[in-house]
Copies of this chain bind each other. A is one copy, B any other.
Amino acid sequence: MPPTPARTSRRAVYDELRRRVLSLELPPGAALSENELAAALGVSRTPVRESLILLSQEGLVQVFAKVGSFVSRVDPDRVADAQFLREAVELASLADVPSDPDPAAVADLRENLALQHLAADDVEEFFRLDEAFHHGLLRLAGHENVWPTVVAAKGHLDRARRLGLGETSTQVFITQHADVLDALLAGRREEARTLMQGHLRRVFADIQRVRERSPDLFASNAEAVPTRRSVAVWE
C-alpha cells in the first residue's frame, strides 16, 4: 500500500519527455509546444505544461513567456559543474564504504559488470547499466539516496556523453569499472579513488572533443536566443 505511486498522467509525460531529451531524440535547440505535445500525447495542456516546468527547473528545457519552449543547448559550464559535483560525491562515497559491504549489493554490481560486457555494442543499454553501476557504488556506502540529486544536476553532462559515444570504446569504460570495483573490494581504498577519478575524467575529456565537432548543439555563452521552429520531431 504505497502512499502515492499513482501512475498519473503528468508522471508519464514527464518521464517520456525527459527520456527523449536525454537520449537526444529531442535535440538541443528543438522547439517544444505545449499544444503540439498535448495533441501528440493525447492529453491536455495541463500535464504537459507541468512537465515542462519541472524540466525547466532541471535546466533541460528553457521556457520563454509568450515566445516558446525549447530544449536547452548543452551548456559547457553546466557540464563542468555536473562533473565537479559527481566527482566530489562519488569519491567521497568511496571513503564511506565499509570493509564488509552488503553482499547483495556487491552481487548486483558483479552481475551488472557481466551485463555490461554483453551490452558493449548497445549504446542505450550500456548507458543504462553504467548509470546503475555508479548508483550501486553509492549504495555500498549507504548513500544511494543522493543519486537522484546527482541525476537531476547532470542532465547536460549526460547529453554531452551521448554525443561523445564514439570517442572511446565502451570496453575501456567496462575495464575501468571492473578495476574500481576490484580495488575497492580488496580494501585498496586509495587506489580505488584514483581509478575512479581517472575514469570520470576520461569521460569528461571526451566531451571536449565532441564540442569541436558539433558546436551547434552547445551554447557558447549565455546567449539564449530562441530559434523558432528549428526542428519538428516527435512521432
Contacts and interface: CB of A to CB of B under 8 A. Distances in A.
Interface string A53-97: 110010000111100000000000110010011011101110010
A92 B88 contact: yes
Interface residues of A, number: 31
A8 interface: yes
Contacts of A88: 88-89, 91-93
A85 B143 CA distance: 9
A153 interface: yes
A53 to B, nearest CB: 6
A99 interface: no
Contacts of A92: 84, 87-88, 91-92
Given A54-B53, A57-B57, A3 B89 contact: no
A160 to B, nearest CB: 16
A50 interface: yes
Interface of A: prevailing SS? helix
Interface in A212-233: 224
A6 interface: yes
A169 interface: no
Interface in A92-117: 92-93, 96
Contact of A64 (B4, B87, B89): B4
Given A53-B53, A65-B6, A84 B224 contact: no
A86 to B, nearest CB: 10
A34 to B, nearest CB: 13
A88 B91 CA distance: 8
24 contacts: A3-B224, A4-B62, A4-B65, A50-B50, A53-B54, A54-B54, A54-B57, A77-B145, A78-B145, A81-B146, A84-B89, A84-B92, A84-B93, A84-B143, A85-B146, A85-B149, A87-B92, A88-B92, A92-B92, A146-B153, A149-B149, A149-B152, A149-B153, A152-B152
